[in-house]
Structure 1
Amino acid sequence: MPPLPTAAEQQAQAEAYRKSSDALDSRVEMSGHSAKEFEMTFERFMASLYMTAMLQLGLMHQQGEQPRMDIIGARQTIDTLALLAEKTKGNLTPTEENFLQNSLYEVRMAYVEVTNALSRPPQPGAATGTGGR
Protein backbone atom coordinates (compact mmCIF):
# COMPACT_ATOMS: atom_id res chain seq x y z
CA MET A 1 0.00 0.00 0.00
CA PRO A 2 1.45 3.40 -0.91
CA PRO A 3 2.20 5.84 1.90
CA LEU A 4 -0.46 8.38 2.79
CA PRO A 5 -0.01 11.86 1.32
CA THR A 6 1.60 14.34 3.67
CA ALA A 7 -0.40 17.22 5.11
CA ALA A 8 1.37 19.58 2.69
CA GLU A 9 0.52 17.34 -0.29
CA GLN A 10 -3.11 17.14 0.80
CA GLN A 11 -3.29 20.91 1.23
CA ALA A 12 -1.73 21.50 -2.22
CA GLN A 13 -4.12 19.02 -3.79
CA ALA A 14 -7.14 20.61 -2.10
CA GLU A 15 -6.04 24.06 -3.30
CA ALA A 16 -5.55 22.80 -6.88
CA TYR A 17 -9.00 21.19 -6.77
CA ARG A 18 -10.58 24.43 -5.50
CA LYS A 19 -8.89 26.51 -8.22
CA SER A 20 -9.95 24.06 -10.92
CA SER A 21 -13.52 24.03 -9.60
CA ASP A 22 -13.60 27.84 -9.47
CA ALA A 23 -12.44 28.02 -13.10
CA LEU A 24 -15.12 25.55 -14.15
CA ASP A 25 -17.77 27.48 -12.20
CA SER A 26 -16.74 30.66 -14.03
CA ARG A 27 -17.20 28.94 -17.40
CA VAL A 28 -20.59 27.60 -16.29
CA GLU A 29 -21.68 31.09 -15.20
CA MET A 30 -20.54 32.55 -18.56
CA SER A 31 -22.75 30.02 -20.37
CA GLY A 32 -25.81 31.48 -18.63
CA HIS A 33 -26.22 28.83 -15.95
CA SER A 34 -25.70 29.03 -12.23
CA ALA A 35 -22.89 26.95 -10.77
CA LYS A 36 -25.29 26.31 -7.85
CA GLU A 37 -27.37 24.14 -10.22
CA PHE A 38 -24.52 21.64 -10.32
CA GLU A 39 -23.49 21.59 -6.65
CA MET A 40 -23.53 18.16 -5.08
CA THR A 41 -26.05 17.75 -2.28
CA PHE A 42 -26.98 14.69 -0.26
CA GLU A 43 -30.27 14.41 -2.17
CA ARG A 44 -28.49 14.60 -5.54
CA PHE A 45 -26.07 11.93 -4.37
CA MET A 46 -28.97 9.68 -3.33
CA ALA A 47 -30.74 10.39 -6.63
CA SER A 48 -27.63 9.35 -8.57
CA LEU A 49 -27.50 6.04 -6.67
CA TYR A 50 -31.25 5.54 -7.25
CA MET A 51 -30.85 6.15 -11.00
CA THR A 52 -27.82 3.85 -11.12
CA ALA A 53 -29.81 1.03 -9.48
CA MET A 54 -32.74 1.52 -11.88
CA LEU A 55 -30.35 1.45 -14.86
CA GLN A 56 -28.69 -1.68 -13.49
CA LEU A 57 -32.10 -3.34 -13.12
CA GLY A 58 -32.81 -2.57 -16.77
CA LEU A 59 -35.81 -0.42 -15.83
CA MET A 60 -34.30 2.74 -17.31
CA HIS A 61 -31.94 3.23 -20.21
CA GLN A 62 -30.35 5.87 -22.37
CA GLN A 63 -32.52 7.06 -25.23
CA GLY A 64 -31.85 4.96 -28.32
CA GLU A 65 -30.16 2.17 -26.36
CA GLN A 66 -31.45 -1.19 -25.23
CA PRO A 67 -31.87 -1.71 -21.48
CA ARG A 68 -29.02 -3.69 -19.92
CA MET A 69 -29.20 -5.58 -16.65
CA ASP A 70 -26.53 -5.90 -14.01
CA ILE A 71 -28.34 -7.61 -11.14
CA ILE A 72 -25.23 -7.97 -8.98
CA GLY A 73 -24.36 -4.30 -9.55
CA ALA A 74 -27.94 -3.32 -8.70
CA ARG A 75 -27.77 -5.30 -5.46
CA GLN A 76 -24.48 -3.61 -4.55
CA THR A 77 -25.93 -0.17 -5.28
CA ILE A 78 -29.01 -0.96 -3.17
CA ASP A 79 -26.74 -2.23 -0.39
CA THR A 80 -24.79 1.04 -0.64
CA LEU A 81 -28.01 3.01 -0.12
CA ALA A 82 -28.84 0.81 2.88
CA LEU A 83 -25.33 1.29 4.29
CA LEU A 84 -25.68 5.07 3.94
CA ALA A 85 -29.08 4.93 5.65
CA GLU A 86 -27.53 3.06 8.57
CA LYS A 87 -24.40 5.22 8.83
CA THR A 88 -26.27 8.53 8.57
CA LYS A 89 -29.06 7.61 11.01
CA GLY A 90 -29.84 10.63 13.18
CA ASN A 91 -27.73 13.00 11.06
CA LEU A 92 -30.11 13.79 8.20
CA THR A 93 -32.75 16.45 7.85
CA PRO A 94 -36.32 15.13 7.69
CA THR A 95 -36.37 15.85 3.94
CA GLU A 96 -33.11 13.94 3.37
CA GLU A 97 -34.28 11.02 5.53
CA ASN A 98 -37.60 10.83 3.67
CA PHE A 99 -35.85 10.96 0.29
CA LEU A 100 -33.40 8.24 1.29
CA GLN A 101 -36.06 5.93 2.75
CA ASN A 102 -38.37 6.37 -0.25
CA SER A 103 -35.51 5.74 -2.68
CA LEU A 104 -34.43 2.65 -0.79
CA TYR A 105 -37.99 1.30 -0.68
CA GLU A 106 -38.52 1.85 -4.41
CA VAL A 107 -35.25 0.26 -5.54
CA ARG A 108 -35.71 -2.72 -3.22
CA MET A 109 -39.22 -3.30 -4.58
CA ALA A 110 -37.95 -2.98 -8.15
CA TYR A 111 -35.15 -5.45 -7.38
CA VAL A 112 -37.62 -7.98 -5.95
CA GLU A 113 -39.93 -7.61 -8.97
CA VAL A 114 -37.09 -8.01 -11.48
CA THR A 115 -35.45 -10.96 -9.74
CA ASN A 116 -38.83 -12.69 -9.26
CA ALA A 117 -39.61 -12.21 -12.96
CA LEU A 118 -36.22 -13.64 -13.93
CA SER A 119 -36.70 -16.73 -11.75
CA ARG A 120 -40.20 -17.55 -13.05
CA PRO A 121 -40.37 -20.39 -15.57
CA PRO A 122 -41.57 -19.41 -19.05
CA GLN A 123 -45.34 -19.42 -19.50
CA PRO A 124 -46.78 -22.23 -21.64
CA GLY A 125 -47.13 -21.06 -25.23
CA ALA A 126 -44.75 -18.14 -24.69
CA ALA A 127 -42.15 -17.42 -27.34
CA THR A 128 -39.01 -19.36 -26.55
CA GLY A 129 -36.75 -18.14 -29.32
CA THR A 130 -36.49 -21.67 -30.76
CA GLY A 131 -38.93 -21.24 -33.61
CA GLY A 132 -41.60 -23.25 -31.77
CA ARG A 133 -39.54 -26.44 -31.74
Structure 2
Amino acid sequence: MLILNKDFKHMIGKEDNNEEVSFKVADRRKFNSDGSLRDGVTLDPPKPVVETPAPPAEQETSADPALGQYEDAYLDDEPALDDDGEIPGAKDPASFVNFLSTLATNAAAALGAMPHPVTGQRSLDLDSGKYWLDVLSMLRDKTKGNLHPKEDRLLEGLLADLRMQYVQIVRATEEKLKAQAAQKFSGADILGKK
Protein backbone atom coordinates (compact mmCIF):
# COMPACT_ATOMS: atom_id res chain seq x y z
CA MET A 1 0.00 0.00 0.00
CA LEU A 2 1.32 3.42 -0.96
CA ILE A 3 0.95 6.20 1.59
CA LEU A 4 1.18 9.75 0.29
CA ASN A 5 1.60 12.99 2.11
CA LYS A 6 -1.70 14.92 2.22
CA ASP A 7 0.04 17.94 0.64
CA PHE A 8 1.24 15.76 -2.25
CA LYS A 9 -2.18 15.89 -3.94
CA HIS A 10 -2.09 19.67 -3.98
CA MET A 11 1.43 19.80 -5.41
CA ILE A 12 0.75 17.64 -8.45
CA GLY A 13 -1.19 19.99 -10.71
CA LYS A 14 0.11 23.19 -9.18
CA GLU A 15 2.44 25.37 -11.17
CA ASP A 16 4.96 27.25 -9.13
CA ASN A 17 5.52 30.56 -10.89
CA ASN A 18 7.32 32.12 -7.94
CA GLU A 19 10.61 30.46 -8.72
CA GLU A 20 12.81 32.47 -11.07
CA VAL A 21 15.33 30.62 -13.20
CA SER A 22 18.53 32.42 -14.02
CA PHE A 23 21.68 31.48 -15.85
CA LYS A 24 25.06 33.08 -15.76
CA VAL A 25 27.22 32.73 -18.84
CA ALA A 26 30.92 33.45 -18.52
CA ASP A 27 32.95 33.71 -21.71
CA ARG A 28 36.35 32.15 -20.95
CA ARG A 29 37.78 32.43 -24.45
CA LYS A 30 41.15 34.14 -24.53
CA PHE A 31 40.93 35.47 -28.08
CA ASN A 32 38.43 37.52 -30.06
CA SER A 33 36.97 36.22 -33.30
CA ASP A 34 39.64 38.14 -35.25
CA GLY A 35 42.40 36.34 -33.32
CA SER A 36 43.44 39.27 -31.10
CA LEU A 37 43.85 38.87 -27.35
CA ARG A 38 40.73 39.82 -25.36
CA ASP A 39 40.88 42.68 -22.85
CA GLY A 40 41.87 41.63 -19.34
CA VAL A 41 43.30 38.28 -20.42
CA THR A 42 46.89 37.36 -19.70
CA LEU A 43 48.59 34.40 -21.24
CA ASP A 44 50.71 32.12 -19.13
CA PRO A 45 54.27 31.77 -20.41
CA PRO A 46 54.86 28.44 -22.12
CA LYS A 47 56.49 25.84 -19.95
CA PRO A 48 59.96 24.80 -21.07
CA VAL A 49 60.13 21.47 -22.81
CA VAL A 50 62.27 19.02 -20.90
CA GLU A 51 63.73 16.36 -23.13
CA THR A 52 64.42 13.05 -21.49
CA PRO A 53 66.76 10.61 -23.15
CA ALA A 54 64.89 7.81 -24.84
CA PRO A 55 65.35 4.37 -23.31
CA PRO A 56 67.15 1.85 -25.49
CA ALA A 57 64.84 0.60 -28.18
CA GLU A 58 63.46 -2.84 -27.48
CA GLN A 59 62.01 -5.03 -30.14
CA GLU A 60 58.39 -4.07 -30.62
CA THR A 61 56.01 -6.94 -30.02
CA SER A 62 52.39 -7.06 -30.90
CA ALA A 63 49.63 -7.46 -28.37
CA ASP A 64 48.41 -10.38 -30.47
CA PRO A 65 50.58 -13.52 -30.32
CA ALA A 66 49.23 -14.67 -33.68
CA LEU A 67 50.73 -11.63 -35.37
CA GLY A 68 54.05 -11.98 -33.56
CA GLN A 69 55.27 -14.73 -35.88
CA TYR A 70 54.52 -12.51 -38.88
CA GLU A 71 56.26 -9.52 -37.36
CA ASP A 72 59.35 -11.60 -36.67
CA ALA A 73 59.36 -13.00 -40.17
CA TYR A 74 58.71 -9.79 -42.09
CA LEU A 75 60.12 -7.00 -40.00
CA ASP A 76 63.42 -8.46 -38.84
CA ASP A 77 64.58 -10.20 -42.03
CA GLU A 78 64.85 -6.99 -44.01
CA PRO A 79 68.06 -5.00 -43.99
CA ALA A 80 68.07 -1.95 -41.77
CA LEU A 81 66.55 1.12 -43.36
CA ASP A 82 68.04 4.57 -43.14
CA ASP A 83 65.19 5.60 -40.79
CA ASP A 84 65.13 5.08 -37.04
CA GLY A 85 63.69 1.59 -37.45
CA GLU A 86 60.48 2.06 -35.48
CA ILE A 87 57.03 2.13 -36.94
CA PRO A 88 55.46 5.49 -36.06
CA GLY A 89 52.74 5.07 -33.45
CA ALA A 90 53.32 1.32 -33.05
CA LYS A 91 52.81 1.53 -29.27
CA ASP A 92 49.39 3.15 -29.70
CA PRO A 93 46.59 0.62 -29.11
CA ALA A 94 44.83 2.00 -32.20
CA SER A 95 47.91 1.72 -34.41
CA PHE A 96 47.88 0.35 -37.93
CA VAL A 97 49.90 -2.69 -36.83
CA ASN A 98 47.33 -3.55 -34.15
CA PHE A 99 44.54 -3.02 -36.67
CA LEU A 100 46.28 -5.46 -39.03
CA SER A 101 46.60 -7.85 -36.11
CA THR A 102 42.85 -7.79 -35.59
CA LEU A 103 42.12 -8.45 -39.26
CA ALA A 104 44.77 -11.18 -39.52
CA THR A 105 43.46 -12.88 -36.38
CA ASN A 106 39.97 -12.99 -37.85
CA ALA A 107 41.31 -14.40 -41.12
CA ALA A 108 43.44 -17.02 -39.35
CA ALA A 109 40.52 -18.04 -37.13
CA ALA A 110 38.24 -18.40 -40.17
CA LEU A 111 40.85 -20.59 -41.86
CA GLY A 112 41.15 -22.79 -38.77
CA ALA A 113 44.78 -21.81 -38.14
CA MET A 114 43.98 -20.67 -34.61
CA PRO A 115 41.06 -20.77 -32.18
CA HIS A 116 38.40 -18.14 -32.74
CA PRO A 117 39.08 -15.15 -30.44
CA VAL A 118 35.54 -15.19 -29.03
CA THR A 119 34.51 -18.86 -28.95
CA GLY A 120 37.95 -20.37 -28.37
CA GLN A 121 37.16 -23.18 -30.82
CA ARG A 122 38.82 -23.97 -34.11
CA SER A 123 36.54 -24.02 -37.10
CA LEU A 124 36.88 -23.75 -40.85
CA ASP A 125 34.83 -21.14 -42.69
CA LEU A 126 36.21 -20.60 -46.18
CA ASP A 127 33.73 -17.85 -47.02
CA SER A 128 34.75 -15.81 -43.97
CA GLY A 129 38.41 -16.51 -44.66
CA LYS A 130 38.02 -15.24 -48.22
CA TYR A 131 36.19 -12.17 -46.92
CA TRP A 132 39.00 -11.26 -44.51
CA LEU A 133 41.59 -11.83 -47.24
CA ASP A 134 39.62 -9.48 -49.50
CA VAL A 135 39.48 -6.88 -46.70
CA LEU A 136 43.25 -7.07 -46.20
CA SER A 137 43.80 -6.86 -49.96
CA MET A 138 41.52 -3.83 -50.24
CA LEU A 139 43.34 -2.20 -47.34
CA ARG A 140 46.67 -2.81 -49.06
CA ASP A 141 45.38 -1.24 -52.27
CA LYS A 142 43.90 1.79 -50.50
CA THR A 143 47.00 2.46 -48.40
CA LYS A 144 49.56 1.89 -51.17
CA GLY A 145 52.27 4.53 -50.89
CA ASN A 146 51.03 5.83 -47.53
CA LEU A 147 52.52 3.23 -45.20
CA HIS A 148 55.79 3.05 -43.34
CA PRO A 149 58.07 0.54 -45.14
CA LYS A 150 57.82 -1.91 -42.23
CA GLU A 151 54.03 -1.64 -42.17
CA ASP A 152 53.98 -2.30 -45.91
CA ARG A 153 56.21 -5.39 -45.54
CA LEU A 154 54.08 -6.66 -42.67
CA LEU A 155 50.86 -6.27 -44.66
CA GLU A 156 52.36 -7.92 -47.75
CA GLY A 157 53.70 -10.81 -45.64
CA LEU A 158 50.39 -11.33 -43.88
CA LEU A 159 48.53 -11.38 -47.17
CA ALA A 160 50.99 -13.81 -48.76
CA ASP A 161 50.88 -16.26 -45.84
CA LEU A 162 47.12 -16.12 -45.42
CA ARG A 163 46.56 -16.55 -49.16
CA MET A 164 48.84 -19.60 -49.18
CA GLN A 165 46.91 -21.10 -46.26
CA TYR A 166 43.63 -20.40 -48.04
CA VAL A 167 44.79 -22.03 -51.28
CA GLN A 168 46.13 -25.09 -49.42
CA ILE A 169 42.86 -25.51 -47.52
CA VAL A 170 40.75 -25.11 -50.67
CA ARG A 171 42.88 -27.69 -52.52
CA ALA A 172 42.76 -30.12 -49.59
CA THR A 173 38.99 -29.70 -49.37
CA GLU A 174 38.58 -30.34 -53.09
CA GLU A 175 40.74 -33.46 -52.89
CA LYS A 176 38.77 -34.72 -49.92
CA LEU A 177 35.48 -34.18 -51.76
CA LYS A 178 36.83 -35.98 -54.84
CA ALA A 179 37.92 -38.92 -52.69
CA GLN A 180 34.51 -39.10 -51.01
CA ALA A 181 32.77 -38.95 -54.37
CA ALA A 182 35.02 -41.72 -55.72
CA GLN A 183 34.07 -43.95 -52.80
CA LYS A 184 30.35 -43.40 -53.35
CA PHE A 185 30.36 -43.95 -57.10
CA SER A 186 32.48 -46.14 -59.28
CA GLY A 187 33.17 -45.63 -62.95
CA ALA A 188 30.70 -48.39 -63.73
CA ASP A 189 27.99 -46.57 -61.77
CA ILE A 190 28.61 -43.38 -63.69
CA LEU A 191 28.62 -45.12 -67.09
CA GLY A 192 25.62 -47.25 -66.19
CA LYS A 193 27.46 -50.60 -66.41
CA LYS A 194 26.32 -52.79 -63.57
TM-score, L = length of structure 2: 0.42
Report the CA distance between 1:66 and its aligned residue. 3.9
Matched positions, count:
90
* Aligned residues with identical type, % of pairs: 30
Give the 3 Å change call, closer, same or farther, for CA 122–83 of structure 1 in structure 2: closer
Identify the residue that residue 111 of structure 2 maps to in structure 1.
Answer: 57
Identify the residue that residue 45 of structure 1 maps to in structure 2.
Answer: 99
Write the distance in 2 (CA, Å) between the matches of 1:97 and 1:61.
26
Identify the residue that residue 47 of structure 2 maps to in structure 1.
Answer: none
1:104 to 140, 156, 159: 159
Task: Note the alpha carbon deviations across 1:45-100, whole angstroms, 9 max, x for none.
Answer: 11111111110011111599541111101101000000000000000000110110
Letter in 2 for 1:93: H
Gaps of 5+ in 2: 1-89, 184-194
RMSD of equivalent CA atoms: 2.6
Residue 134 of structure 2 corresponds to residue 79 of structure 1: yes
Write the distance in 2 (CA, Å) between the matches of 1:121 and 1:75.
20
Q: Retained in 1: the 8 A contact 2:106–2:132? A: yes
- Higher Cα Rg: structure 1 or 2? 2
Letter in 1 for 2:137: A
* Correspondence 1:1-133 to 2 at 5 A: 39-61=93-115, 65-121=120-176
Gaps of 5+ in 1: 1-35, 129-133
State the structure with bigger RCO (CA 8 A, min sep 6), 1 or 2.
Answer: 1
Q: Which runs of 4+ in 1 moved over 2 A?
A: 62-66, 121-124
Write the distance in 1 (CA, Å) between the matches of 2:116 and 2:142.
32
